[in-house]
Structure formats: structure tokens, C-alpha cells
Structure 1
Amino acid sequence: MEWQKYIVADNAILLGKPTVKGTRISVEHIVGLLANGWTEHQILENYPRLSPESLQAVFAYIHECLKDGLLYSNPISEQS
């Protein structure tokens, strides 16, 4: 999946947060919906400008950020 075709960041839109191209829907917002129990079907139904491919791009983008260590600054360690 080439997420770059679907996810963009523009300082003039939502202060540069990554968004789905052609919308003002941020990756953060979509992840928040999923974290609150929304299904992919519910998201697509409530946000008709999104497509199944754009949702897949959100997942691919998050995966790449995690893989590259961009979402955390300290290694995860066990607490004593």
C-alpha cells in the first residue's frame, strides 16, 4: 500500500496534522474513532469522502510510523 497517495500533511490544514487527502479528516481522528469502538463500516458510512483504500492507507501510515519509531521517544521498558 502506497499510503503517500492518500495521506498528506499541509501546514494550512489542521496545523499540519496528517490528513486523508482531499479532506480535513485527520489520521488522529480516525484512530480515535477506532479506539472508541467504531468499526471501519461505521467510519465509511459516517464519512462518505473516505474510501476503504484511504482507511487502509491510514493503517499503513501508522504502521510505518511505529516501525520507524516516530510515535515514541523512549524505549518501552518494564516498570519496577
Structure 2
Amino acid sequence: MKNNNIHGRIILDPNIMVGKPIIRGTRLPVALILKMLGQGIRTEEILHEYPRLEAVDIEAAITYAANVVE
């Protein structure tokens, strides 16, 4: 990943969540964020539900997913 927004925001660690991509500093999988967005949950609602997240974390999750499927 070359995007600095992703680097440092999305991590893969085999010792955390079996190596699934997660938001740095949390145990929130990128997949959960994407599912919430896919269900029509707005970014503001996600940020309210998970106050440790920042909007840039959600953007990084979307960018990460786009890069994976590219």
C-alpha cells in the first residue's frame, strides 16, 4: 500500500483478529466498517458508535478495500 492515509491507519497483525485488516488502535475489522456503510449507516453514526475512530479511519478502510479489489 502506497497511500499514507492507509499506511498507519489500517494494520494487519497475525496476533490481532487473526491477521484481518483492522483500524489501528482498535480491534475493529475493516470488514465491519464496510458492512456498516453498506447497510446505509452514515459515517457520523459510526463515529458516534465508536468514538475512538476518526473520519480518516473510515476513509482509509474504504481506500483499503478499493485497493484490495483493484
1:70 is aligned to: none
Rounded to whole Å, the distance in 1 between the matches of 2:65 and 2:47 is: 18
2:28 is the counterpart of 1:13: no
After TM superposition, give the deviation of residue 37 of structure 1 in Å: 1.7
Residue 4 of structure 1 aligns to a residue whose secondary structure is: coil
Q: How many residues are treated as equivalent by the alignment?
A: 67
2:11 is the counterpart of 1:41: no
2:61 is the counterpart of 1:51: no
Ranges of 4+ aligned residues in structure 1 off by more than 4 Å? none
Rounded to whole Å, the distance in 1 between the matches of 2:56 and 2:38 is: 19
Rounded to whole Å, the distance in 1 between the matches of 2:12 and 2:39 is: 24
Q: In structure 2, which of residues 15, 22, 26 is the aligned counterpart of residue 23 of structure 1?
A: 26
Rounded to whole Å, the distance in 2 between the matches of 1:34 and 1:58 is: 11
TM-score, normalized by length of structure 1? 0.78
Residue 25 of structure 1 aligns to a residue whose secondary structure is: coil
- Pairwise CA RMSD of aligned residues? 1.0
Consecutive unaligned residues in structure 1, runs of 5 or more: 68-80
After TM superposition, give the deviation of residue 35 of structure 1 in Å: 1.5
How many percent of aligned residue pairs carry the same amino acid? 31
Consecutive unaligned residues in structure 2, runs of 5 or more: none
